[in-house]
């Protein structure tokens, strides 16, 4: 019973993945390209940077970078907090 159930789940997952792979759009032809065109045309005057990637990362999606920096800060404080004990024992 369990084997039959597992086989059924596996087969349905494989069929789902195959159907998704077949119905993919061809590479390089996204369904909605308005956002890309907007960024390429307006990034220089709105975000004032020649590098469109930087203007997306730091201006249009600045909160994303803020969260990234917060993740790094949390990682560093976690490492320092977890290993401080060993450092103190040495002295």
56 binds another protein (CB under 8 A): no
72 binds another protein (CB under 8 A): yes
Q: How far is CA 3 from CA 7, 8, 17, 82, in A?
A: 6, 9, 21, 44
12 binds another protein (CB under 8 A): no
Residue whose C-alpha is closest to residue 55's, from 41, 67, 39: 39
Residues that bind another protein (CB under 8 A): 44-51, 53-55, 57-59, 62-63, 65-66, 68-70, 72-73, 75-76, 79-80, 83, 86-87, 90
């Amino acid at each position: 019973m369990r084997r039959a159930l597992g086989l059924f789940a596996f087969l349905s997952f494989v069929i789902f993945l195959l159907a998704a792979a077949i119905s993919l759009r061809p590479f390089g032809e996204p369904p909605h390209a308005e956002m890309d065109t907007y960024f390429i045309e307006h990034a220089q005057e709105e975000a004032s940077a020649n590098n469109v990637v930087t203007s997306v990362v730091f201006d249009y999606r600045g909160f994303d970078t803020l969260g990234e920096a917060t993740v790094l800060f949390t990682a560093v404080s976690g490492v320092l907090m977890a290993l401080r004990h060993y450092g103190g024992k040495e002295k």
